[in-house]
Amino acid sequence: MNEFWMMAIGLGMAFHGLLILWVGGLPRALTPGESPTAPPGTPEAFGLFWLDQYSYIGLILAIVGGGLAAGEYLS
């Protein structure tokens, strides 16, 4: 029964992470080309910072969840 829950949690994490990446895209540091900038202290700069953090959370969830599901599948 433990394998079922680990697989379910891993797939759920991966799915949620991929949904976040679909909405937010990859973080600006990981995308090629010019990335948008804004003057420090402005609402636009805060929005870019928030979007980057959101994208990093999605990337980590997708990687960890996929690894967890793959590890349970292969074991």
Residues 21-74 have pLDDT tens digits of 999 999 999 989 888 889 999 999 999 999 999 999 999 999 999 999 999 888
The token pair at 72 is 């349970």
How many CA atoms are closer than 13 Å to the CA of 28, on its beta-carbon side? 13
Q: Which of 7, 13, 11 is nearest to 59 (CA)?
A: 13
Read off the amino acid at residue 51: L
User: Which one has a higher pLDDT value, 3 or 57?
Assistant: 57
How many residues are present in the chain? 75
Estimate the share of the chain in helix, then strand, then coil, as percent rounded to the nearest 5. 75, 0, 25
pTM, 2 dp: 0.87
